[in-house]
Amino acid sequence: MNNTNQLSKIKTFRKEIRFFIFFILLFFLFQTLHYIVRPYISPFVVHTLTTSGSSKLINIIMPKENTSSQKEYLSSGHFKLKIARGCEGIEGVIILIAAILAFPAGIKSKLFGIIGGIFVLYILNLFRIAGLYYTLKYKPALFDMMHVYVGQTLIILIAFLYFIAWLNIQMNINGKYIQTN
């Protein structure tokens, strides 16, 4: 393949290449920022939002569990589940924010997409934590699989699906949606 064909292909996909490069740069930037601020925000994000929120959700679903939260621990009687840093679903949020910001759309649309995505991922992460609580309490042999493989993958998948839905809305709003038969 000669240089002219290569340049032609690059020009054909320049928007996609720009999106990908911008996404990767934003993702690494946000991961780095998160790593720096993590010690300062973890008490609020993990203890208050995630652990306390999960306890409230479990108590709504099954009041007999009578869970409570103490710092990073979700407990019920003698049973405790530690919610560690990283269990707040931040990786999915970072991926989603980087993807939305990398896509060429208006600031208002990006802002609504980010706020909606954070809300969706937060609520689903609370359900994930509640599911892990029940798994550890009633089926402890499945906990590692549910925590490492299913739960973490689910948060990333939800972030991806949310981005695709947001992208479809953007394309429909901007009249760039092309139907194929």
**In this model, does residue 140 exceed pLDDT 70?**
yes
| Helix, strand and coil in the chain, % to nearest 5 | 75, 5, 15
d(CA 99, CA 79): 39
For residue 9, being part of any structural domain is answered with: yes
Q: Which residues neighbour 40 within 8 Å (Cβ) at sequence distance 6 or greater?
A: none
Domain residues for the domain of 77 are 3-173
Residue 133 C-alpha from the chain's centroid: 19
Domain assignment present for residue 130? The answer is yes
> How far is 173 from 167, CA to CA, in rounded Å?
10
pTM metric for this prediction = 0.85
The percent of residues above 70 in pLDDT, for the chain, comes to 90
Top-ranked range on mean pLDDT: pick from 3-7, 93-97, 149-153, 173-177: 93-97
User: How many distinct structural domains can be found in the chain?
Assistant: 1
Hey, what are 114's tokens?
Answer: 């980010």
Question: Is 60 exceeded by the pLDDT of residue 1?
Answer: no
Asked which of 86-90, 111-115, 123-127 is least confident by mean pLDDT, the reply is 86-90
CA distance 96 to 162: 8
Q: Examine residue 105 and state whether it is found in any structural domain, yes or no.
A: yes
Query: Considering the domain boundaries, does residue 181 fall inside one?
Result: no
- Is residue 117 very low, low, confident or very high in pLDDT (cuts 50, 70, 90)? very high
